[in-house]
């Protein structure tokens, strides 16, 4: 049980990537005053939490309504997560890629900070797989969702301390951490694919 929750935390930490969000947040808010920066930080975390909750509650129901077994979604999601991990390792890292995205001030909380930096496609797919109704009782699902909130809270704290942290580790440091997270995520994604294939053929 403890190993399962630890694995869930690693997946959520990797796909949400709070450290990789720091340079995105700094680039998006460097010219704004403290009040606007605080509002953007708070709103971005709330939007990301709402999206993850929405996918945790209704994501699997929507899939089953379309006749897609969760084992197939888990396999597909594992492949997507693996490709996502490869972009973190070999392509532009999250800080380098997402800091290029531009938006006006009113939309900064939604894009690029909440989406795709915090509530990334990988995070939305990951929360659906980690709250499988057929494998986890509702207390376990709530605990997993709580882990997601914990990672988002960590992201909020890191954004609060973004300026001193970014000055300390720099863009290169954030990029290195993001690539390490990608390596860990690739192993977890491969395991999800293997489990999905196994579960599919056991039906």
C-alpha of 119 from chain center: 5
> Residue 2's pLDDT is what?
66
Q: What is the pLDDT of residues 141-187, one digit of tens each?
A: 999 999 999 999 999 999 999 878 777 877 788 778 778 877 877 88
> Residue 71's pLDDT is what?
78
Query: What average pLDDT does the structure give for the chain?
Result: 82
Of the candidates 56, 15, 19, the residue with the CA atom closest to the CA atom of residue 146: 56
Distances (CA, A) of 76 to 47, 86, 131, 186, 197: 25, 15, 16, 14, 10
Domains and CATH numbers, the chain: 2-202 (1.20.1250)
Burial of 81-109, coded b for 16+ CB within 10 Å and e otherwise, reads bbebbeebbeeebbbbbbbeeeeeeeebb
Cα separation, 130 vs 25, whole angstroms: 27
Structure pTM? 0.76
> Residue 86's pLDDT is what?
83
- Residues with Cβ < 8 Å from 71, sequence gap 6 or more? 196, 197, 199, 200, 203
> Residue 54's pLDDT is what?
95
Q: What is the pLDDT of residues 74-112, one digit of tens each?
A: 788 778 778 877 877 886 656 555 555 555 655 889 988
Question: Is the pLDDT score of 56 beyond 90?
Answer: yes
CB 132 within 8 A of CB 74: yes
Between 94 and 17, the more confident residue is 17
Cα separation, 4 vs 17, whole angstroms: 19
């Amino acid at each position: 049980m403890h190993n399962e929750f630890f694995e869930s935390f690693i997946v959520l930490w990797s796909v949400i990537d709070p450290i990789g969000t720091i340079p995105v947040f700094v680039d998006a808010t460097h010219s704004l005053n403290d009040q606007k920066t605080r509002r953007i930080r708070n709103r971005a975390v709330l939007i990301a939490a709402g999206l993850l909750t929405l996918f945790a509650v209704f994501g699997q129901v929507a899939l089953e309504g379309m006749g897609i077994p969760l084992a197939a979604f888990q396999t597909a999601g594992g492949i997507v997560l693996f490709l996502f991990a490869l972009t973190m390792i070999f392509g532009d890292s999250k800080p380098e890629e997402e800091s290029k995205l531009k938006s006006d001030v009113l939309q900064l909380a939604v894009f690029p900070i909440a989406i795709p930096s915090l509530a990334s496609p990988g995070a939305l797919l990951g929360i659906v797989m980690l709250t499988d109704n057929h494998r986890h009782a509702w207390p376990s699902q709530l605990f997993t969702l709580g882990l997601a909130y914990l990672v988002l809270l960590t992201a909020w704290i890191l954004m609060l301390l973004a300026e001193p942290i970014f000055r300390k580790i720099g863009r290169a440091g954030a990029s290195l951490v993001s690539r390490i997270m990608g390596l860990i995520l690739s192993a977890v994604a491969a395991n999800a694919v293997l489990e999905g294939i196994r579960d599919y053929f056991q039906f």
